[in-house]
Every structure is written in C-alpha cells, then in structure tokens.
Structure 1
Amino acid sequence: MSNATQRIQDAKNTLGSDLVILGHHYQHDSVIQHCDLTGDSLELARNVAGLSSRYIVFCGVIFMGESAALLVDKNQQVFMPDLDASCIMSDMAPDPVVYNVLEQLKKSGKKVVPLTYVNSSAAVKAVVGAEDGASCTSANAGTMLQWCLDRGDSVLFLPDKNLALNTADVLGIPDAERRVIDITRGGRNIDPNVALGAKLLIWPGCCAIHSIRMKVSHIEQARAAHPDCTIIVHPECSPEVVQAADVSGSTSKIIKYCEEAPAGATIYIGTEINLVERLMKRFAGEKTIIPLQRSACKNMAKNTEDKLAFLLEDLVQAHRSGTPPKAEPVTVDDETAANARLCLERMLEACS
C-alpha cells in the first residue's frame, strides 16, 4: 500500500459519512479505487442530487465540479483535487460568445432553443437556462435534442459538433436541415438567417481525445488484425468513425456492451485510455479488450492520488478544528447558479 493510499484511507475513516468521493470513468485507477461513486456525467449528476455528505469531492474536470456545486444544498461543499483540470471542448464555447450568438439568432424571428452538452461551463449553462434550454450528456443526447426540437423552431447544439452530427443521424434529421455556425468575431459574425432553413444549428467544437485521435484508419487496421472483432466508439468521435464502427455510445454504454458481450469476444474501444485499460483488466482471460487508439486526457490526469490525499487531509483538519478548509471549494455565484441549475434540472427531469 502506498503512502498516499494509506493517508486517503485514514482520512475517509475519520470523516466517515461527512465525505463522499465521486470519480468519472476517465480517472486513473489509483484515484478510482478511492471513489465511493463512479460513473459518466449523467450517472454522477443524478447521484449528486441525492447526497447528504458535508464534503463532496469530485475527481473529474471543472465543469463536472461546477455541475455538482449547482445540485448540492447550502450546507454542502464541493471540492476537486485539482481546480486546474479544465476541458478543451468546454473552453471552445465561452459564455459571452454563446450569448452573442443567441442574440443574433433572435433577429431571425424564429425560436431557437439552445442545448448544451454538460461539457460546458456553469456560465454557459446559465445562458442556455435563461433561454429555455437544457443540457445533455452523450447518454441522453437524442432524448434531449428531441425535447428541444419539440419546444422551438430550431435547436442550437453546443459545443460538440460531432455529438450533434451523430445525434442528428440517430434522429434522422436530414443534412439539408443542419448548419455548422460561424462563431468568429465573438459570435457577432453569424447571419441570423441561418436559423430560417435549419432545424439544427451546430457549434464547431470538439474533443481532442475522440475527434482528432480516433480515425477510420484505426478501425480498418483493427478489422484486418481481428476480422471477427466488434468496435465500439464514443459519439464524440467523427461521424465517419462512428459509421465505420459497429456501435457508438457513452462510457456507460461502452461498459455495458463489454459486460454483455459473449465470452471469447474481441472488442476494440475508441475512448479515453483509462476506461479501456480498466475494462481490459476486468475481463482479462474472458474477453479481449483492445484500445482502438491510446488516447489520454491530460486534464483528467491532473487529479492524482497524491493531490486527493492532500485535499482529504485538509478536510480532516477543518473537520477537527471547526474552521474552513484551506482548499478552495467549487462555487458558482447565485445569479449564474439559478439559470444554470434550471439547465441541468430540465435534463434530469426529462430523463428521470
């Protein structure tokens, strides 16, 4: 047992029910082993709303910590091992630009309902919530896109272009009714008339882990090496990769797919490497799990076992002394929180 592991276990024993640790599937095993709850964005959001612990430690990236902070009550605090664990995709949709785009689109006279992937800041969720919009995860994108389509003339889907395109394929939205929008000049360069002929307006963001690193050539190589294999990829991959694969789905769907595959199956997985390696270990000797391409998220990796140990020791000191922790909690100002919470709650209600 490492020194950090022992320190974390000691802290958990001291804090007891006052502490709960959440971890996203993309965290390293050294962190996941200490998490009380693990899951994808939707699973963790659902769980946060029902927690009663005083301290909630979220091992993920900052938009996840913010979402948790929106869903807890005033007597609870959310902490992260590293507050600098950002998200490149989220950063591609700054809230002032989202606001400007929506203001321009209003000039079309059409009702454009915004739908933001949870991979977005609380400030963006607030802009979306104020415009009668909602959030979605990769697990419920189809449900939430239809929810938005039922409430307006068109939908602005942000920030992930690939998830938007792949979800549109699932719902059968024709190519002629889709437009990737222009967000240059801070969103002021967009032509409002783009909303007149399109049911789906798409933000041009992406996830480097899936969009850039997973390629059709990797699928071709996998099939050449193992003709009987099946390939499952995350829907943040390009439409070309998704179409070339056998299945696409959220991290939870990927896990379930591996669980339900027959013994002896060979499965290539196109997603973040920590989850793939965890599945490789879990099914070793029963099924063959192979990464389509090794692709690691540097921001997820910022949460380490050592940082978790230091954070928990700080919480123990605060617990014993009755003073505030030295660590900075994840907070969202009241004005932003009100509308951002609406954005999340609409999703949770629609997908309950």
Structure 2
Amino acid sequence: MSQSISESIRTAKRQWGEDLVILGHHYQHDEVIEHTDIAGDSLELARKIPDQRAKHIVFCGVDFMAETASILAQPEQQVYMPDHTASCVMADMAPAPLVSRILENLHREGRRVIPLAYVNSSAAIKALCGQYGGSVCTSANAPTMLKWAMQQGDQVLFLPDQHLGVNTARQLGLSAQDWHKLDIRGGGTRLDHSAIEQATLLLWPGLCAVHARFHLDHIQAIRESEPEARILVHPECHPEVVQAADGAGSTSFLIRAVQEASAGSTLYIGTECNLVYRLRDRYRETLSIHPLRVSACSNMGKTSASKLASLLETLPDAPIMSVDPSIQAPALLALERMLEACRPGR
C-alpha cells in the first residue's frame, strides 16, 4: 500500500473526527484492518452499531454486514461500503422468494416452524425471520440462538448454512435422526413431507465456499506429519472436519484460543486465511501458526485500502447502503431478538 493512500485515509479520519467510524471484519486484508476503528466478527460488530454516534459508518466487509449495520443504525446515520459488489456466496444460496414460498408451505401443514438465519444472509431473509417469529445468529452465538428458537415453536428452519446447523445441533445433543436437509429443487416442490414431519431441525442446503475447502484428509495429513500440532476450525466447516479437529468455534473463539496457547505450540487453523496470517504474524515469536489450507474469501478481498481512501474522499456524497423500508422493521425485530437473547449477563 502506498504512503499516499494510507495518508489519505488518515487525513480523512482526522477531518471527520467523531463523525466517522470505520468497522472491519477479521477477514479483511491487513491494509484495511490497520485503518479500522473497530475490528471484529459478525456478533461483535453488530453489538457495536447501536452504540455508535458517528454520522458516517463505513463498513469494510460484505454486503449483508453493511445491511445489518444499516438496519441497526439510527435514521440520521449513513452506512457506506468501499465496494458494493462485495457479496456473499452462501447468502445468495437462500433467495428470499424461495425461502418465503417454502415457509408458507411448511406452515400450511399446521406446524409452527421458526426460521433461524445465520447472519450471513440478506436483509430480506432476516425480515422473513422477523415475520415468522424467528431470529438470526452468528457462529459465536449459534448454540444459544438455536436453543432459543427450539423453545419458540414446533420446528426450526436453520438457514442458509447446513454445516453450522449440524455442528450446532450436535453441541446441543441432537442426533442425525433429529434433523432433515430440505430438497429445495423445483421451487420447493420436492420437499419430503414425511421426513420433515419427523424432524426437529430443518436444514437449508447452503454452505460457505471458503470453509467447504477444508477436508478430512487435510487434518489426517497433519496428524501423521505433526502429531503434536493442535488443529482448530470454524463451525462452517463440514461436520466431519469439525469432529476431527481439536476445537471449533467462531473467529473470536479462534483468536482467543491462539492467545491462550502455550508458548512453543504449533497450531493449524481452518478459516479464512487473512485472519490466520494476521495471527501468525502477531504471535510469530512464541507460536507456529499455519492455515489448515489456504482459503481466501474473494468477496472480502474486494475491499482494499485504495477503495477505502476513494470512498472517504467522496463523503458524504458516496453511495449509501440502504434497506427497503418494507423489510427494515421485521429485519430489525429479528436482529433485536438475537441481541436481547445474547445480552451479556443475561
């Protein structure tokens, strides 16, 4: 990153002062993270939004994150993204019209199905969760929120990440007999209603392209070559990968596990590589940290320091992240249910 780009960002931050706050997800490049005022995972960043007083909120991440910020922000606040094309492959696997159609179908059968959407989903999906008595979750609070959702109705529809759904269900003591993965082909015309009727948890067949690249043979190879190494993965990984690892959890969990690791330890981490490289560099004097496999999110990578600088130069006239008013209120309701259920000290 050139000195001029970095200085341009610092100059803009000085000029705007308390009227500007820059948030960034852990998966962003270092050249972006160094300029953020707040860095965190999805839950940490969502919790921070209601407390912000800045007029201009710049979100360095992908579109569903900026949408969430826009929903939680005050009416007088504006939310911006350095690159509006930064989307999420997994979120796109659950188009709202199809989810709505399937939810209507399931409810016609007389069961109260509670939708619980991973935060990696569109504002429209979050709005459906609000409308149907459901909520949202992050990888950090998925067990808390799935337990909450199971208390609200007859069944839970977990979407869009089937792997996080299964891994979370296992944490709560559910078995394979308790869940069923929906067949959403044909616009929902291929649903197996007999299997649905027997299940407690219904899974949407989506996944994270970044975490789907980690396989059991990657773990087995490390076990053979470096049996002393500890392997940690994100719960968006395939269930067999999670079961074979030494630990699994959100980005905050992975960071904390590194912080608490004994000096001299070797750690392999299965998540987006920008976070792994940042941890490797930060702890290189005491730990040996490696990616389980190099796996980067191309959409997270669309945000660069130069794009951030360009955005800041055009404030307050840059394009804003807006959410359709018709889905704003129900989406906010879903988010507020999560924030309340996961309120510290609750």
TM-score using structure 2 length: 0.97
Corresponding residue number in structure 2 for 1:346: 337
Distance in 1, Cα, partners of 2:225 & 2:288: 13
Residue in 2 that maps onto 1:294:
294
Q: Distance in 2 between matches of 1:152 and 1:199?
A: 10
TM-aligned CA deviation for residue 107 of structure 1: 2.3
Query: Deviation digits for residues 240-260 of structure 1, max 9, x if unmatched?
Result: 100110000000000000000
Cα shift at 1:7: 0.5
Give the equivalent residue in structure 2 for 1:235. Answer: 235
1:114, 1:182 → 2: CA distance?
Answer: 16
Output the CA distance in 2 between the equivalents of 1:187 and 1:65: 30
Q: How much has 1:281 moved relative to structure 2?
A: 0.4
Distance 2:286 2:34 in 1: 22
Q: Which residue of 2 aligns with 1:166?
A: 167
Secondary structure of the residue that 2:221 maps to in structure 1? helix
Are 1:105 and 1:112, in contact at CA under 8 Å, matched by a contact in 2?
Answer: yes
Contact preservation (8 Å) 1:112, 1:195 = no
User: Aligned partners of 2:323, 2:189: CA distance in 1, in Å?
Assistant: 27
Measured against aligned partners, the alpha-carbon deviations of 1:209-239 in whole angstroms (never above 9, x if no partner) come to 101x101111111122221111000000000
Which AA in structure 1 matches 2:179?
Answer: R
Which residue number in structure 2 is paired with residue 100 of structure 1?
A: 101
Q: Is the 8 A contact 1:96 1:186 kept in 2?
A: no
**Cα distance in 1, alignment partners of residues 189 and 319 from structure 2:** 35
**What corresponds to 2:283 in structure 1?**
283
Partner of 2:270: 270
What is residue 321 of structure 1 aligned with on the other side?
Answer: none
Aligned residue pair count? 342
Question: Counterpart of 2:174 in 1: which secondary structure?
Answer: coil
Give the RMSD, CA atoms, in angstroms.
0.9
Paired position in structure 1 for 2:214: 214
Q: C-alpha displacement at 1:82, in angstroms?
A: 0.3
Q: What pairs with 1:1-352 in structure 2 (closer than 5 Å)? A: 2-211=3-212, 213-315=213-315, 318=316, 325=317, 327-352=318-343
Which deviations, in whole Å up to 9, do the C-alpha atoms of 1:148-207 show, x marking residues without a partner?
001111100000010001001111112111100011122243244443210000000000
Point out the more displaced range, 230-239 or 188-197: 188-197
User: Separation in 2 of the partners of 1:39 and 1:193?
Assistant: 42
Amino acid at match of 1:148: A
Q: What TM-score results when the alignment is normalised by the length of structure 1?
A: 0.96
Measure the CA separation in 1 of the matches of 2:51 and 2:80.
17
Q: CA deviation at 1:3?
A: 1.5
Distance 1:132 1:297 in 2: 32
Aligned equivalents of 1:134 and 1:91: distance in 2? 18
Alpha-carbon distance, 1:333 to partner: 1.5
Which structure 2 segments of 5+ residues have no match?
A: none
Partner deviation per Cα, 1:55-111 (whole Å, 9 max, x = no partner): 000000000000000000111000000010000000000000110110111122111
Distance across 1 between alignment mates of 2:152 and 2:193: 19
Q: Is the CA contact (8 Å cut-off) linking 1:110 and 1:195 kept in structure 2? A: no
Amino acid at match of 1:119: N
Percent identity over the alignment is: 53
Extract structure 1 runs of 4+ deviating beyond 6 A: none
Rounded Cα–Cα distance in structure 2 between residues aligned with 1:69 and 1:185: 33
CA distance in 2, matches of 1:224, 1:302: 37
Contact 1:27 1:300 (8 Å CA) reproduced: yes
CA distance in 1, matches of 2:195, 2:79: 40
One-letter code aligned to 1:27:
Q
